[in-house]
């Protein structure tokens, strides 16, 4: 159940003292081959952290042999000195493993504006290298990347003679084009880098990219997939992309359920849109309405706030002919009250909102959380 489930991977997670709690804070995932194909996607935020600036360059040739990750400091807005730390970490990993630093993706998470002690991080890399293991190493690594996460997140999807393993961290700032979210995926299938890239973009477009916990986009988001080819099996691209999508969706739902302070997971499904992009635009507008999200926290099936959000978009629809259901009850038909909202029970954690735009035949689901006292508390008391 981890990144070391597929053949050809070792991993480790160790405590290097970056977290004041003494918890594990440096993780290393190594691809032992025989192939080293990789693909990555990064935050769309223009103010990117140093590890993202490094890794964006490192991934360009489609070859990555290791991913090193630290929690306890995002190395973001730390200037040239922070970039040098990222570079030194990549070099140390490469020295241990006998390849070049340009084959190492570096990820960091934690406080922004905090410069980690370089010696501490490098000592962590040394310890992680020494602890690399196939069995159990993946789970140690998944624990080492947690910040405000309450549980570690892992997944395995089995193919025909090959598999995909994955781990993720993230518990807020889960927004468009990713989140304070680090994800490493591994596979022992034979998948050339170009196909990996195609599959990864397909998978993230309908999973992580449709998760919008609080509308805030992080500076460090990285999703990397590594393919060792160790199974010797070459799946068809559709089969592989489908499995990768399932792995990413599973991890995305784990992130959603662990969002900071949330009481509800909300799936907003937009039906009969003119285009899929418009369905996503409408879903995201509702996912970003603080008024709607606070109403869900208060168990109030407030469809008026849903319509008010839809009205802010440029999607095609007739403002006088919108239908909205909450948990399957059509509380609004033709933009007017329909079923009695008291029929909607919002006490269960899982909430569904269905919007019928009557403008076409495309659809999309966007996921978000409610806005709670605990969210305000966690994000007013904890810096990130």
DSSP string spanning 128-187?
A: HHHH-BSTTHHHHHHHHT-SS-SS-EEEEEE-SS-EEEEEEE-SS-B-SS-BS-EEEEEE
Annotated catalytic residues are 180
Q: If you search the block for the tokens 């922070």, which residue do you land on?
A: 82
Task: Looking at residues 69 to 88 of the shown chain, list those that interact with a second copy (rule: CB under 8 A).
Answer: 74, 76-79
Q: How far apart are alpha carbons 153 and 155 in whole angstroms?
A: 7
Looking at the Cβ atoms of 136 and 304, the one nearer to a second copy is 304
Q: Pick from 7, 187, 354, 384: which binds a second copy (CB under 8 A)? A: 384
Task: Looking at residues 330 to 369 of the shown chain, list those that interact with a second copy (rule: CB under 8 A).
Answer: 332, 334-337
Residue 357 has a CB neighbour count (10 Å cut-off) of: 24
Looking at the Cβ atoms of 53 and 123, the one nearer to a second copy is 53
Tell me how far, at minimum, the Cβ of 336 lies from a second copy, in Å: 4
Q: Pick from 120, 300, 339, 358: which binds a second copy (CB under 8 A)? A: 300
Q: Pick from 140, 219, 222, 228: which binds a second copy (CB under 8 A)? A: 219
Q: Pick from 298, 343, 345, 349: which binds a second copy (CB under 8 A)? A: 298
Q: How far apart are alpha carbons 49 and 115 in whole angstroms?
A: 11
Tell me how far, at minimum, the Cβ of 207 lies from a second copy, in Å: 20
Site pattern 261..280 for a second copy (x: CB under 8 A) = --------------------
Q: Pick from 33, 161, 311, 328: which binds a second copy (CB under 8 A)? A: 311
How many alpha carbons lie under 13 Å from residue 367 in its C-beta half-sphere? Answer: 26
Site pattern 110..139 for a second copy (x: CB under 8 A) = -xxx-x------------------------
| Radius of gyration in angstroms for the set of CA atoms belonging to the chain, rounded to a whole number | 21
Looking at the Cβ atoms of 198 and 316, the one nearer to a second copy is 316
Residue 239 token pair: 């089969």
Tell me how far, at minimum, the Cβ of 261 lies from a second copy, in Å: 10
Q: How far apart are alpha carbons 309 and 287 in whole angstroms?
A: 9
Buried b (16+ CB within 10 A) or exposed e, 105-123: bbbbbbbbebebeeebbbb
Q: What is the largest CA-CA distance in the chain?
A: 67
**Alpha-carbon distances of 225 from 29, 306, 314, 342, 384, rounded to whole Å:** 11, 37, 35, 46, 26
Q: Does 47 bind a second copy (CB under 8 A)?
A: yes
Binding residues for a second copy (CB under 8 A): 44-48, 74, 76-79, 111-113, 115, 172-173, 214-219, 288-291, 294-295, 297-298, 300, 302-305, 307-313, 319-320, 322, 332, 334-337, 371-373, 375-377, 379-381, 383-384
């Amino acid at each position: 159940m981890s990144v070391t489930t597929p053949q050809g991977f070792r991993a480790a997670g160790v405590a290097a003292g970056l977290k004041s709690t003494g918890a594990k804070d440096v993780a290393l995932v190594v691809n032992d081959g025989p192939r080293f194909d990789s693909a990555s996607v990064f935050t769309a935020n223009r103010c990117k952290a140093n590890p993202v600036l490094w890794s964006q360059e490192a991934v360009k040739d489609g070859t990555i042999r290791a991913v090193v990750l630290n929690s306890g400091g995002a190395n973001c807005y730390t200037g040239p000195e922070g970039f040098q730390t990222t570079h030194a970490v990549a070099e140390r990993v490469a020295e241990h493993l006998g390849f070049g630093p340009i084959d190492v993706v570096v990820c960091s998470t934690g406080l922004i504006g905090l410069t980690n002690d370089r010696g501490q991080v490098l000592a962590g890399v040394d310890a992680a290298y020494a602890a690399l293991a196939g069995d159990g190493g993946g789970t140690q690594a998944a624990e080492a990347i947690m910040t405000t996460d309450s549980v570690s997140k892992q997944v395995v999807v089995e193919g025909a003679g090959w598999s995909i393993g994955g781990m993720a961290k993230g518990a807020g700032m889960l927004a468009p084009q990713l989140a304070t979210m680090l994800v490493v995926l591994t596979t022992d299938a034979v998948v050339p880098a170009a196909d990996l890239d195609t599959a990864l973009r397909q998978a993230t477009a309908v999973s992580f990219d449709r998760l919008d916990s609080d509308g805030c986009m992080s500076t460090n988001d990285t999703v990397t997939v590594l393919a060792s080819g160790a199974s010797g099996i070459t799946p068809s691209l559709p089969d592989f992309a489908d499995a990768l999508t399932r792995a990413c969706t599973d991890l995305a739902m784990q992130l959603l359920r662990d969002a900071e302070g949330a009481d509800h997971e909300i799936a907003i499904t937009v039906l009969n849109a003119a285009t899929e992009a418009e369905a996503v635009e409408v879903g995201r507008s509702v996912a970003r309405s603080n008024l709607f999200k606070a109403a869900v926290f208060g168990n109030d099936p407030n469809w008026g706030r849903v319509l008010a959000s839809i009205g802010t978009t440029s999607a095609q629809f007739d403002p006088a002919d919108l239908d909205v259901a909450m948990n399957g009850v059509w509380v609004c038909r033709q933009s007017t009250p329909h079923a009695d909202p008291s029929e909607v029970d919002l006490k269960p954690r899982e909430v569904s909102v269905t919007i019928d735009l009557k403008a076409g035949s495309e659809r999309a689901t966007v996921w978000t959380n409610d806005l709670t006292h605990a969210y305000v508390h966690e994000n007013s008391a904890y810096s990130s």
